[in-house]
Amino acid sequence: MQVKNVAFIGLGVMGYHMAKHLAQKGGHTVTVYNRTSAKAENWIKEFGGRSASTPAEAAKDQDIVFACVGNDDDLRSITLGDNTLGDNGAFSAMSKGAVFVDHTTASASVARELYAKATKLGIDFIDAPVSGGEAGAINGTLTVMCGGDEAPYGHVEPVIASFAKACRLMGAPGAGQLTKMVNQICIAGIVQGLSEAIHFAKKAELNVEDVVSVISKGAAQSWQMENRHKTMNEGKFDFGFAVDWMRKDLDIVLNEARKNGANLPVTALVDQFYAEIQNMGGNRWDTSSLLARLETGKT
């Protein structure tokens, strides 16, 4: 694979490690930008490359610009600047033919909006949210679901492979974000079901480990069961994706469902359950903390 000049904007829980794999595993020349500059400086000390003072500076002369930020507004800010097409936005500095790859979990509408703005400037935009959590970012085993045009996707897919075990173009601009919404719908229902199952097993005075060892060999098996049942059973909820983040994602899902007419009663209910977890002070607990709600009698 040809070495690329790439930038990575947003060195949070996910981005810090994704950028690391681009430099170490991919061997690419990496420029980083982070709103908190100290984190960018720490990244440089660990992995080399250089840091930039603005998204525009980071994006200048790059083949690919990656981003992983918080939400739609953050994404508009780093791409368009403080004002539309302002001096600090990455789009204003990108070369024609360069590709912007957005790993933020955001709305499909903002993906389509930025795709349209990028196209007018002669640059390409791929929405590419990820699944796999912090562990997947650390280990370089993320799943990436993309929306956009085939030609630029073909250019970036081998580079994305630096931090992903699977990557697929799902369709037109916004299709990556819509696929991520499907992913979060599945997770919400599965985690609630697993929480109820463990809660029931305890009330029935069964050995949870023995129960899981049996049912995980059959149709009930899931990633959540394999990777979270032990910590859930021990009442430990500081692993993986935080409740605050899940609520942000489910808000995106439910807003999209209102637009397309999808009926999501279980997802809406689980979103309410996560709101109760927040009220319990569990904002930063991981998503498996739905069990804590059951065990405190909040049903």
Active site members: 180
Q: Which residue do the tokens 């709305």 mark? A: 107
Could you give the CA distance from residue 211 to residue 196 in angstroms, rounded to a whole number?
Answer: 13
Count Cβ atoms below 10 Å from residue 260 Cβ, excluding itself.
Answer: 8
CA distance linking residue 181 with residue 3, whole number of Å: 32
Strands (E), 128-189: 130-131, 142-147, 164-171
- Contacting residues for 258 by C-beta, under 8 A, at least 6 apart: none
Structure tokens at 182: 């499907």
Q: Is 118 exposed, middle or buried (0-12, 13-18, 19+ CB in 10 A)?
A: buried
What proportions of the chain, in percent to the nearest 5, are helix, strand and coil? 55, 15, 30
C-beta contacts of 216-222 below 8 A and 24+ residues apart: 222/190, 222/194
Beta strands in the chain (DSSP E): 5-9, 29-33, 50-51, 64-67, 99-102, 124-127, 130-131, 142-147, 164-171
